[in-house]
Amino acid sequence: MRGRWLKHAALSLALLSGSAVVALELYTRLPDPVDIPVIKVSPDTRELTLVFHGSGGSDEPLMQRIAAAHEGDPTGAAAVAVNWSPASDNRLRAAANARVVGAALGAKLGSLENLQRLRLVGHSSGAYMLDAVCVAARAAAKPAPVITSVYLDPFGIDGFADWSHGAREHGRCADFALAIINTDDAAPATNAPLANAYNIDITDHPQRPDPAAANLHYWPVEFYARAAAERRLPSSAEWSHDQLPRGVVVASLPDLATD
């Protein structure tokens, strides 16, 4: 009898565990009711940079620094740090919410008839905003702008169970995709290079902050913010997968001519 009871108990536990996983998977795939942020850009804009924070990062000053560094580079270019909170704040549904918000923003970019180049920069779960904006902008704009997507320690979990989605799919839409990562921070599913991006792994960079004193999930954001402010990045017209192939992993910025 005891053996039979144990078998029934084990089966019941397995069914409960399986039901919990299914419930979590369904929950994470369904978006919350979300508001679409308003982006004010001149209709004459030819080059636009949109910067997206991750979950809980709407007040992160690094994102504002990145937008400020790209404003007017090249002359006349526009840059906006997009606050997509509160849609970003539910970490379990951040990817699902990003798809809704990003698709709406990308569709609106179709009204910018003079837009020639679009640079998308996203941290952590903001990576899903980049993918969604890219797909929608391509569909809405005729002709579509040349799109550069920059992933800063990108979050890669889709739903509850697919932990490698980002590593497989982030960057697929972009004409050029760049990922800046470190491979030992505590944020889950952010430590793998992207198959569809040119990857810079700054785990061993000499300027990396002390792990005991800094949140290393933000180290790729700081690295990119410094490079943008110091004009050490190639212009968006110079990024090319002909020179910088997808899936490659290096330890420093590419040595290309800059503006």
pLDDT number for residue 15:
46
Q: How many domains does the chain have?
A: 1
In a domain, 46, yes or no: yes
Instruction: Identify the residue with better confidence: 1 or 114.
Output: 114
In DSSP notation, 199-213 reads EEE-TT-TTPPPTTT
Residue 259 pLDDT:
40
Q: According to the model, what pLDDT value does residue 13 have?
A: 52
Largest alpha-carbon pair distance within the chain?
A: 81
How far from the centroid of its chain's Cα atoms is residue 198's Cα? Answer: 14
SS3 248: coil
What CATH number does the domain containing 246 carry? 3.40.50.1820
Cis peptide leading into residue 209 (ω within 30°):
no
**Domain that residue 230 falls in:** 31-250
- Does residue 9 lie in a domain region? no
Instruction: State what percent of residues in the chain have pLDDT above 70.
Output: 90
Q: Is residue 24 part of a domain?
A: no
Phi and psi torsions of 116, nearest 5°:
-110, -35
Q: Is residue 203 part of a domain?
A: yes
For 153-165, write each residue's pLDDT tens digit: 999 999 878 889 9
Most confident residue range from 6-10, 16-20, 68-72, 116-120: 116-120
pLDDT at 182 over 60: yes
